[in-house]
Amino acid sequence: MRIYLPATWPMLSRMVSTGRFEPMGGTGFALTPKLRESYVAGDDEELEYAAMTEAARASLRLLAVEFGLGEDATPARRVVVAADTDDVTVRPDLDDGAVRVSGSLPMEKIAAVHVDVEEAEHAVRQAAAVVDKADLGDLDAEFLVGEAEDHELAWYSPSEVQFLVELG
């Protein structure tokens, strides 16, 4: 199963140094039966994109925590790690596509990494500051989150991630 794991730049750096990705709280997103049921139409590729979009929004929440803790040097870029594993449990208590991953994932399980480009940093920093308000229905906050989500995430092969982190 392809899963999408929200991350931040420091988490990506740790993955490069340790050779393993540690999902925050074991939470990821995937094309689950519940996610499929929540859409009237869409093929697997479109529905997997929806799962990746949920992971990207969760990355905003992780960034909000890092910035709230004073980690202002953290690049304001959403990061989503895509991995292939069947060692997941569906989380019906959370979002439609939420899954729980047990433990860390070795690099061999990483299929790709999706990261915002530098031009998105301003919008992502603004969105991270208000993502909780957007989740609660604040229209102004939702607009700012939408501005960040208008930026497409760039795709990187696992073999490129070390260079990506080094170039920062």
pLDDT digits (tens, 9 = 90+) for 81-114: 999 998 888 887 777 789 999 889 999 999 999 9
**Residue ranges of E strands in the chain:** 2-7, 20-21, 27-30, 79-84, 88-90, 98-101, 105-106, 110-115, 154-156
149 part of a folded domain: no
Report the pLDDT value the prediction gives residue 166, as an integer from 0 to 100.
85
- CATH label of the domain that carries residue 90: 3.20.170
Domain count of the fold of the chain: 1
Report the pLDDT value the prediction gives residue 131, as an integer from 0 to 100.
95
Collect all residues with Cβ–Cβ distance below 8 Å to 152 and sequence separation of at least 6. Answer: none
The pLDDT of 32-41, averaged and rounded, is 76
Q: Which range marks the domain in which residue 59 is found?
A: 2-118
Report the pLDDT value the prediction gives residue 40, as an integer from 0 to 100.
67
pLDDT digit string (tens) for 54-72?
999 999 999 999 888 777 7
78 part of a folded domain: yes
Report the pLDDT value the prediction gives residue 97, as an integer from 0 to 100.
87
The pTM score is 0.92
